A and B are shown apart, each in its own frame.
Chain A
Amino acid sequence: MIKTQNNKAWFLVLPVLVVVAFSAVLPLMTVVNYALNDTFGNNKFFWVGLEWFEEMVTSSRLHDALGRQILFSAIILTIQVPLGIYIALNMPKKGFWASFCLVLMSLPLLIPFNVVGTIWQIFGRVDIGLLGHTLGALGIDYNYTNDPFDAWMTVIVMDVWHWTSLVALLAYAGLQSIPQAYYQAAKIDQASRWAVFRYIELPKMQGVLLIAILLRFMDSFMIYTEPFVVTGGGPGNSTTFLSIDLVKMAIGQFDLGPAAAFSLMYFLVILLVSWVFFTVMTNLDRQESK
């Protein structure tokens, strides 16, 4: 659509600006302030410059948490995106069963994060959980509270359970928008199922898939509540992801300066990756409208 040049449109954007500035800019400035100062209480601050940043960049604790976080997000994306597409391809196209599946699949998305954690905490427990008990009965030594590998598996399966539906629903929306004529043409050409997927469905889903990947990346990179409820970051530090570590530092130990410096770098990493996604996305949009 060709847009009219009109700077008065700023008046329409103003309410958003005020609300978001109140809840984003002011707190962010506070974080910046903490990151550059040291305090011994009583609201007295001493300028320390970039000291906290230097400390954090070289901190092995941060490196470990970052490594775990990247591994976690990578595993989550490699499982959820293909699985979500696969589920979307198998969903009924219309009628009662389509809305039946939609309703059931949306269910995990609307459960509060800590309840998701609670559900899996109960489900996985060796003594009272269906999963833990069944695995134990099958002779598999499974206990997410002492074994780091089991803890990882639990957290990953939980996230797959929680969020795959979002990818599937988005991919499903992309599939629904493909006109029937494309499939008919493919049938006439006797295209294989794979060819239909590769040359018709995948390109048509590109836009929504990018949104799905962007959302899943951001949210898995910020994950806090669910693993915190299930494992509390343990055993040891094995499931302490960035947000868990950050909250521990800021609220648990009240190390405001390092925590704030850490926050800012954390935010910048997410921003950078998301900016790349966003640029790719808007370029695709432009190509499509041409």
Chain B
Amino acid sequence: MMRVKPSALVMGLYLLFLLLPIYWLVNMSLKTNTEILSSFTLFPQELTFRNYMVILTDPSWYMGYINSIIYVTMNVVISLAVALPAAYAFSRYSFMGDKHLFFWLLTNRMAPPAVFALPFFQLYSSVGLFDTHIAVALAHCLFNVPLAVWILEGFMRGVPKEIDETAYIDGYSFPKFFVKIFMPLIASGIGVAAFFCFMFSWVELLLSRTLTSVNAKPIAATMTRTVSASGMDWGVLAAAGVLTIVPGALVIYFVRNYIAKGFALGRV
């Protein structure tokens, strides 16, 4: 038992460091603005849920959450749907230009979103997709598809090729084999890839803000509203921040076992 203690101390300190700023945000979200500005308190003296009520009753606030969730979901589905067959091709076959293609895909993960913000705006405006959820979902494919291909390829490499061959001998067609036999085998890989796509699409702001104005505006962009009008509404800002952490926390909670397993197996 004595040997465990130093490492528990290190972890304790690190987790404390991670949680302190979040604690402060939650603390602020439960205070009134007068309390935030007039006194310095570690716990709310007058507990109030007004800040949350403001967000949950005003459509221009809560629609931001719905918009974000819609385009993130679309992005995860599109990314996985196109990345699965491609990752299979990369893991099983060598073909003309495969290595170059793989590197080219990865370069898109490296492209700074700032470089693409303006051209994206013009491209999606010219095809009439500006301010739609699908536009943001497609734009996020720029970095999520390469990442998904990369992760899935790592998992697929771990599945022996004999399984494919046996299935073909047993008379499975390719699509049937892929869906019925192959996908269940790499379920944890798909989970990990979906988790990362969710994560990078959920946290991204620059592109999603550039590509939307009203109908598909993400919550992260809505938050900048609190700055205007009569000074800063700190309480509402903090409450909105807390609410953006919740979906992420839920996703982590549900995939925690996959993540541990996925981390141990794959390349991510």
Contact = CB atoms under 8 A, between A and B. Distances in A.
Interface of A: 1, 3-10, 12-13, 15-20, 22-24, 26-28, 30-31, 86-87, 89-92, 98-99, 101-115, 118-120, 122-123, 127-131, 133, 161, 165, 169-170, 172-173, 176-177, 207-208, 211, 218, 221-222, 224-225, 242-243, 246-247, 250-251, 256, 259, 263-264, 266-267, 270-271, 274-275, 278
A211 B267 contact: yes
A128 B28 contact: yes
Interface stretch (B53-61, B111-119, B183-191): B111-119
B107 A19 contact: no
Contacts of A20: 105, 108, 141-142, 145-146
Contact of A91 (B11, B123, B237, B244): B11
Contact of B206 (A102, A225, A271): A225
Given A7-B95, A23-B139, A161 B10 contact: no
Contacts, number: 265
Nearest to B203: A112
Of A30, A99, A173, chain B has the most CB atoms within 10 Å of the CB of A173
> By DSSP majority rule, is chain B's interface helix, strand, loop, or mixed?
helix
A7 B111 contact: no
26 contacts: A12-B88, A15-B85, A16-B145, A16-B149, A24-B108, A28-B111, A31-B119, A90-B7, A92-B11, A98-B260, A99-B260, A110-B199, A112-B219, A112-B220, A113-B204, A119-B21, A122-B237, A128-B40, A130-B21, A224-B112, A224-B113, A225-B206, A246-B112, A264-B115, A271-B107, A271-B110
A27 B227 CA distance: 32
Nearest to A2: B161
B160 to A, nearest CB: 8
Contact of B85 (A13, A92, A221): A13
Contacts of B106: 274, 278
Interface in B2-44: 6-7, 10-11, 14-15, 17-22, 24-25, 28, 36-37, 40
B11 A119 contact: no
B22 A122 contact: no
A12 B145 contact: no
A91 to B, nearest CB: 6
Contacts of B103: 275, 278
Interface in B215-239: 219-220, 223-224, 234, 237-238
Of B82, B112, B146, B248, chain A has the most CB atoms within 10 Å of the CB of B112
A246 B268 contact: no
Contacts of B108: 20, 24
Contacts of B204: 112-113
Of B11, B139, B157, B249, chain A has the most CB atoms within 10 Å of the CB of B11
Interface string B86-130: 101111111110100101011111111111111110110000000
Contact of B248 (A107, A122, A127): A107
Nearest to B4: A92
A107 B199 CA distance: 10
A129 B146 CA distance: 39
Contacts of B252: 102-103, 106-107, 110
Given A23-B138, A103-B252, A123-B21, A222 B114 contact: yes
A173 B264 contact: yes
Contacts of A16: 82-83, 85-86, 105, 145, 149
Interface in B233-260: 234, 237-238, 241, 244-245, 247-249, 251-253, 256-257, 259-260
B78 interface: yes
Given A20-B141, A105-B18, A267-B112, A111 B256 contact: no
